[in-house]
Structure formats: structure tokens, C-alpha cells
A = this chain, B = another copy of it.
Amino acid sequence: MGYTDVDQLAINTIRLLAVDATFKANSGHPGAPMGMAPVSHVLFNKFMTFNPQNPNFPNRDRFVLSNGHGCMLQYALLHLFGYKVSMDDLKNFRQLDSITPGHPEAHDTPGVEVTTGPLGQGFANAVGLAIAQKHSAGVFNKPGYELFNNHTFCYFGDGCAMEGIASEAASMAGHLKLGNLIAIYDDNHISIDGDTKCAFTEDVTKRFEAYGWHTVWVKDGDNDLDAIEAAIREAKSVTDKPSVIRLTTTIGFGSKLQGTGGVHGNPLKADDIEGVKQLFGFDPKQSFVVPQQVYDLYHKHAAEGAAKEQEWNQLFEKYASEYKAEHAELTRRLSGKLADGWEKSLPTYKPSDPAVATRKLSEAVLEKIHDVVPELLSGSADLTGSNNTRWKNAVDFQPPEYNIGDWSGRYLRYGVREHAMAAVMNGLAAYGTVIPAGGTFLNFVSYAAGAVRLSALSRVRAIHVATHDSIGLGEDGPTHQPIETLAHFRALPNCMVWRPADGNETSAAYYSALTSKHTPSILALTRQNLPHLENSTIENALKGAYVAVDAPNAAVTLISTGSEVSICIDAATYLKEKHGIAARVVSVPCFEVFDAQDKSYKLQVLPDGIPVLSVEALSTMGWERYSHEQFGLNRFGASGPYKEVYAKFEFTPEGISKRAIATIDFYKGHPVRSPINRAFQQIL
């Protein structure tokens, strides 16, 4: 209320920064920033608490631009409020090595909470951020100490609204009654193909009502600042439901092409820009102009945010005296470090221990460590009993009124929503107080590929518990048996794929996943039981690969992962007994970790002179990096009891031995260079 010319000036300043930056870059999306400038002005100045001097203030309100292509809006706001985003950074929009890339990247730009652009992701990230807030409040808030009460605000457009991942996340948020989440839907009726009437005519508001959201409609999002303010106020007042504000706007407001697809993904033409500047009372000859009143207004709000952080810091200091343990705990969590000595709780095993499926061994890890790693939030996409992701006395994260859990609960029922799960986990991790782990079948991590990719790109510590990791799942058959999945995620940069062969390797996988602050991990785990290996230790496994069975004068090295390692060990015995051939066996639970070892260790594991045969019951793709010959499955699997399926595809001591002998014969008389030796280094 009480908006003046300065407010309008600020709004138009934002619009023109987006216009100028996209024009200069000759690339980018001016339309959404021009349409969403008014709501941004109101939201950021009247409702949001943040401190540009410390983008990590724990109780800041979170902002997510799910329609990330409109990022010039976000960069303009960050600049105006005084984040470390300079005018030169705006001028370098979409230029090489700038901090203003084509879509917002959290690790690049101060003030960007999550990496967005791939549509629908940001929306689901926002749900994760809101869950993390509720959970942190549930754990750390005390009477008189409301340490966590921030809101999460999320913009999304028609594109996000069409994406299934956003539907999944919205349904989840409605179920969880996330009253701290306010999403603003840029209802501008335009997507890249033009008017949304060509593909998207559903009633979005009604759909959100069906999910259990509170809904508000602002009919003139271009001009009616009072209505915008009232809508956000109303949304904030509804605390038992997430809210969506349908904000009807004109994309590219002010342009000759406003309201059309022409302003969505292309810079405005020079003459159009001139007209827009005249319309807004700006000098058409000048670019990247910010009137001092606008800086003043925004810096004033930034100063208020800094003051609020000061208040919070004082409250937190006082908290220290009354809640010493909680204070220490929260301080530790915010540092990203795990509790000292937590790793002593990791279970270890002897070869004589009974054979157990790695999914159960994973459960054993969770059972042992959940107390010492209290920031770990586990969950599953409706496969709890199969993924074994829930420790026995876990409490569900649920709105207390359901009487099946509470806000401090550490087990998330994601529902059958794999893609949203992975993206919610990215949001959870981004909040800063929790480490998310989420389970599904390995084959269905592929449903979440878009979000896992962003885990890796945005350097997030998230743990994907991926059980039923091969044809070893048996009867469910080829629709559920992964073949290409490990190759896919091994090819993804900054993603660790673990496929442990036994108990100690499973513990190592968790150690690695939990201590890798900037890397997501996928733990591929078996349905079927596996024996514990002779040379397996947490330390060995943490090198990524190690010699599981050594043999003097070996004629061949068998290199393998997970459930196939013990079969390789049997094959080595078979080769010895039936053919008098000495074979070494190498277990390589994690390629990425092995790659990071020094060369001399790697050559110890895979020395020159001995041909290497890889064995894994999945696609052979990628194995050439560590082996001369590859035995795998470059076809789909089969439905049947798993031992029969393994036999069908010859993943047996005999089948492996046959190929080992072929490998030995093939390399007879040829000098054999270790695959570790390469002509040059990769760009990293």
C-alpha cells in the first residue's frame, strides 16, 4: 500500500536491466523479467528478509526462480539489493566465465539458492527448502527462540506448471501442509510455442486446490501493486497449507510485442527498446541505468535485512546459554561438518559373517549412524520395505495433525514421485541444516535423471539409495532391471556411483557419500544376498578399487563390482582348479573415487602386463576405461528367479572363466599396457 513513483521507477529499472542485458548478450529471455518485475518489487521489499552481505544467513527467506530462463530478473534484483553482483556482471550476462550465466547456478552467484532452468526443478527445490525449514524449526525452535521461521517463495511459469515433476512436488507439498511455501504462478499465457491455448488449457488453480493448496488470483499483475501485496499477505496468513498466487501478467510488458511469444526467448529489437525506454520515462540513448533513488530504496531494505540478521545472531547467542547442546549442534550442521567420530558407528564385517543383501547392509548402516548423524533425513519413493531406508524407530516427517509423525520426523514418505524426490532432496540440501537420502529402485533413478543431474551440477550432498540394482532382482523382469543405468550416471560429472560388494564396502559408500560435501552419490544395492569378502575393509573400499584376491603370476585380472565380485572370486577358484590358471580379482565399488587416487596406486591395482576382464551384469559401456575386455549385458534382462537369470546370461564361474580364457588367449604374445596408462589427461 502507498506505492509511489519511486516504486514504479524501480519496477521499470528492473525491466530495463533485463532488456539491456539480453540485448547486449544477443541472447536470453526478457519477457518474464518484464512481466514479473512488479511482483518482485513488492515481494522482495515488503515481505522478504535477507542480508546481501551474508547470503547464508540461516533464517533468510528463500527465493527460487523455477522459470530460471528469466534469470535476468534475479540478477537485477541481486544487484539492486547489493549482493556481490556488479553492474559489470550484469553487462557480462551469458558471457564465458561470468557469474551471470544463461540460467541461475547456485555455486556461481551469491544469492542464488538453487540451480534452475530445466523446467519444474526449481518448484520442487522450493518444496525441499520449505520442508527443511519446517524440520529445522521442529528440531531447533524452542519457546521464545523461533530460530527458523522463514518462508520459501517460488516463481513458476506455464512451462513449470506443465512439467510432471512440479505436479509431483505440488501434490507432496499439499499433503505435507507446507504453510511456509508460497508459489507465484506467472500466468502469462505464453510459452515457447506461443499461446498456451495450443497445449495447456487446464484450470491450474483448481488443480492446486485439488492438491490441498490455498489459492489466490491477482488479475492485474502488471499494475495492481496493492492487489499483489494483499495476495502475498493473504498467502502468508494461511499457515496450514501452501499457497499459490495466480498472477496474471503480460509477458514483455512495455514491448511492442508484449503478450506474445516474440518476447519470450529473444532480446527485443533496438527500436522496440527505444520505445520501451521512452514509455518508462528513461533516456533511450542510455543503457544499464539505475536511478539513485532505486539503489537507495533497495539498499534500505537490504540494511533492514542485515539488522534482522543481527537480531537473529543475538537470539542465537542467547539460545547458546539455554540450549547449549542444540546450539552446538546447529552450529556444527551449518558448518557442513559431521560430528566428530561419527564414522566409528559404521558397521564392519568379517568374511565369516552371514551373507546379506547390500540393501539390508545399507539399512544396518542407517540403523547404526542415525543417532550420530542427526542431520540425515531419509526417505523413499514408496518403496520403504524394499529400499530398507527406514531405521526402526524413525519418526515420519508429517504434519502433526495426521498423528503419523511430526515436523521433527526424519523419514520422508515421498510417494511414487521419483523425480520430485530427487529435486526435493536438492532443495533440502540447499537449506543447509540437513543431508537428504532417498530410496527407489535403481531403474527408477532414471525417472529422476533431470534432478540428479542438477544435484551434480549444483554440487549438492544428496544420497540416492538405489536398490534392486541388476537382473539380480529377478522376477520383476526387464521393465525393472537396469542395464544402462550405471553407465548413465557414471558418465555424469561430479556424481559418485557406488556399487558395493559387501558390508564393509557398503559402510565405505556411506562414509564417502556423507563426507563428500559437494557431490551427490548413488548407492546401487542388491536385492539378493552377498557374502562378505576376504580383503574388503572400509579403508580399501575408500580407495575406489582394491585387490580383492591376489595371485602370484596371474594370467588375468577380473575387475568387477557389487554382486558380481563374489562370482568373480568363485571364477578365480574355478580357473585355478579346472584350468590351472591364476587370476586376480579387483573390486571397484566406485569409479570416480578410484579415478581420484594417485597413479602409482592405480597401477598397483591394475598393473601392466596382465590383461583385465571386467564383469558386471549391466551395460559394458564405460568399462573399457579399466579393462581390456568386457563381460556384461548389452541387452535387456529377463523375468525369472534371479539365479536362473544369472545362469541364462552366464554370470557364473564357468561363464566368467570362459571369457577369462578367451581374454588370456587374445593377449598372448601381445605386450599388455595397463588401462591406467593414457596418452594425455582429460580436461576437468
Contact = CB atoms under 8 A, between A and B. Distances in A.
A679 B650 contact: no
Contact of A491 (B484, B493, B650): B484
Nearest to A447: B450
A436 B546 CA distance: 48
A89 to B, nearest CB: 13
A442 to B, nearest CB: 12
Nearest to A116: B479
Nearest to A643: B96
Contact of A101 (B171, B478, B659): B478
Interface in A634-660: 634-636, 638-641, 644-645, 648-650, 658-659
Nearest to A164: B164
A663 to B, nearest CB: 5
Interface stretch (A189-197, A249-257, A537-545): A189-197
A117 interface: yes
26 contacts: A94-B477, A96-B641, A101-B639, A102-B475, A103-B639, A119-B416, A162-B168, A162-B415, A172-B199, A192-B383, A192-B385, A198-B398, A199-B413, A206-B206, A206-B209, A457-B479, A457-B636, A484-B489, A484-B492, A491-B619, A491-B621, A621-B622, A624-B624, A629-B678, A629-B680, A671-B671
A416 to B, nearest CB: 4
- Which 7 pairs across A and B sit closest by C-beta, in order of nearness? A164-B164, A624-B624, A96-B640, A101-B639, A666-B679, A199-B415, A167-B167
A634 B680 contact: no
Interface of A: 25, 27-28, 68, 94-98, 101-103, 105, 115-120, 158-160, 162-168, 171-172, 174-175, 191-193, 197-207, 209-212, 380, 382-386, 396, 398, 402, 404, 413-417, 419-420, 443-444, 446-447, 449-450, 453-454, 456-457, 474-480, 483-484, 487-494, 613, 619-622, 624-625, 628-636, 638-641, 644-645, 648-650, 658-659, 662-663, 665-667, 670-671, 673, 677-680, 682-684
Contacts of A493: 483-484, 619, 634-636
A444 B453 contact: no
A622 B159 contact: no
Nearest to A620: B682
A616 to B, nearest CB: 12
Given A487-B488, A634-B683, 8 more contacts: A102-B475, A164-B167, A199-B382, A205-B210, A206-B210, A454-B479, A649-B683, A659-B679
A384 B629 CA distance: 43
Contacts of A638: 96-97, 101
Contacts of A648: 96-97
A335 B197 CA distance: 36
B192 A202 contact: no
Contacts of A492: 483-484, 619
Given A174-B201, A491-B619, A115 B634 contact: no
A76 to B, nearest CB: 17
B621 A380 contact: no
Nearest to A25: B475
B444 A118 contact: yes
A28 B193 contact: no
Contact of A663 (B201, B413, B679): B679
A619 B634 CA distance: 19
B197 A402 contact: yes
A75 to B, nearest CB: 12
A492 B446 CA distance: 12
Of A174, A402, A682, the most chain B CB neighbours within 10 A belong to A682
Contact of A163 (B105, B172, B416): B416
B97 A198 contact: no
The number of times this chain is found in the oligomer is 2
B443 A446 contact: no
A450 B192 CA distance: 25
B164 A165 contact: yes
A670 B488 CA distance: 33
Contacts of A684: 634-635
A458 to B, nearest CB: 9
A117 B480 CA distance: 8
Nearest to A418: B163
A636 to B, nearest CB: 5
A444 B386 CA distance: 29
Contacts of A419: 164, 447
Of A416, A420, A640, A670, the most chain B CB neighbours within 10 A belong to A416
A355 B635 CA distance: 38
A102 B479 CA distance: 8
Contact of A683 (B94, B447, B489, B633): B633
A382 B191 contact: yes
Contacts of A160: 416
Contacts of A96: 638-641, 644-645, 648
Contacts of A118: 443-444, 447, 479-480
A34 to B, nearest CB: 19
Given A102-B479, A475-B25, A211 B207 contact: yes
Contact of A98 (B168, B639, B680): B639
A16 B192 CA distance: 52
Given A622-B621, A641-B96, A202 B162 contact: no
A355 to B, nearest CB: 20
B622 A487 contact: yes
Contacts of A165: 164, 447
Of A117, A172, A624, the most chain B CB neighbours within 10 A belong to A624
A596 to B, nearest CB: 13
Contact of A446 (B168, B175, B450): B450
Nearest to A28: B475
Given A478-B457, A645-B96, A487 B212 contact: no
A631 B475 CA distance: 41
A659 B683 contact: no
Nearest to A626: B624
A284 B492 CA distance: 54
A168 B167 contact: yes
